[in-house]
Structure 1
Amino acid sequence: MSALKSLNVSFEKNMDVFQAGQVVRGQVEVELSEDMEARGVNITLKGKARCMWVIYTGQTSIVYTGNQLYFDNTETLWGPGLPTSYEGCHGGVRYYAKATIDRPNAFDKTLKKYFTVLDMYDLNEDPDATKLGVWPFASDPIEVHLQTDRGAYCPGEVIRLSGVLKNGSGTDIKETTVQLRQEICP
């Protein structure tokens, strides 16, 4: 017996006829009778035209076909999401939306709008994230101990440092600077 009882796509207000330019909204409903292993739930929106005609010339006939794809978009509704946006010295992960005005006798006008994607990673589930970061530095007679409140952070979070500086040099320290370095591992 299949765990999948039903899979349904429904449009807002039970509409299935739309005017050009109108927003299409809806939902995908999945009903299960028991747990089911799945990698994800996707939806594809596609618009295309197809035509076929036959030309008869005496004893032979020639079949002509034509196809035009208007759009073909697949989105993940549930499952592994997109990788988190990232900028690094050797590459990055970037996202943008691009709008284009297609002009017949002139250069097209385009606009790119960049946006950030953050993965919904729960640091509470990661045992390594609860470890405190502690960095002792010593250069006689100066000693510094810094620590963070935890060992991992998500993009956009504030990293709070606390520490102790022991100055045995006899010279006043007027300023301290902390530099954080990010290491990317495959």
Structure 2
Amino acid sequence: MPRKLLKFLILFDNTSLLYFPGQFLSGRVLIELQDNTAALGLHFHVVGEGVVRVQTHRQERVYDKENYIDFRMRLLGEPGQGPSMLSPGIHSFPFKLGLPSGLPSTFLGKHGWVQYYCKTALREPNGLTHKNQQVFIVMNPIDLNLEPGIFRNISGQETFKCEVEHKFGVSCVGSGAVVCRVTLDRGGYVPGESIGVSASVSNRSRITIRSTKAALTETITYMARGKIVQVEKRELTVLTKGKIRPGGKDEWINEKLYIPPLPPTNLRGCHLIRINYDVFFIVDPSGLQKEVKLQLPILMATYPLKTGDDDNSLKAGTHYPSTLPIFRPWLEEKPL
């Protein structure tokens, strides 16, 4: 029996498949037929959803879902009417709709996702239904230039400082402490940039510091039914320095932590998945002493800060929304 349906495609006008909230999603459903074909209807459905699916240690499955887009329309046919006859050749059925503002960015994780896609179905009177589906990407950008003033100084450039001082006494050896101050060059970044880490570690105790370490970490929190059901933590980039003997001191001067391609901080508009980034500075003492861990939260954005000289230019090496990382298998190699 010859095949009637030669092509059945969803084609977007934007071939990059990348959209921002508030933009128009437009394109066409293209059908190519070899023979006359009766059709009861051509249905078109746009879906945006957030899903969390976790299997607990007790082998229980926890599931939750929220919808961001649920738009349905008929591109051919009306309810209650008879079939339409489509002639051989190519038929094009356009669609266009405005995406809501405030949509969360596309994200695919191990235990949940935010996903956007279009589905279309061509129904024949004999009960046969042809289906197709096409994913598109939504990026809800975070622009560091539009964030609250804590990420900008008066001049609009240079230092965005987070500074912490932590002391701990070593009771088993009498008096003494380790004093640690850590400063980041700012509080917000975009992938492709590097975080400048400066630190001063003064060992006033009688024990040896085995190492100091700075680490960029990602924390993904999955929620279901109002509760946290899974948390993933990963070290993304690490810098390490060696021993500091009793009475010694070490200085970190603008050491660079590179930021790989990453989704932005949080999924704004999504209530099931949270993404946070931190720089941890860790002092690891010898013996049975507990490590000192200083946590400095940072904002991961999609548009970098502009300086007075480059308002209309893009920084070389930074990653912009067109490189939104959807699949990130390399992260599985670095569990925390």
Greater per-residue strand proportion: 2
* Larger Rg, first or second structure (1 or 2): 1
Larger RCO: 1 or 2 (CA < 8 Å, sep 6+): 2
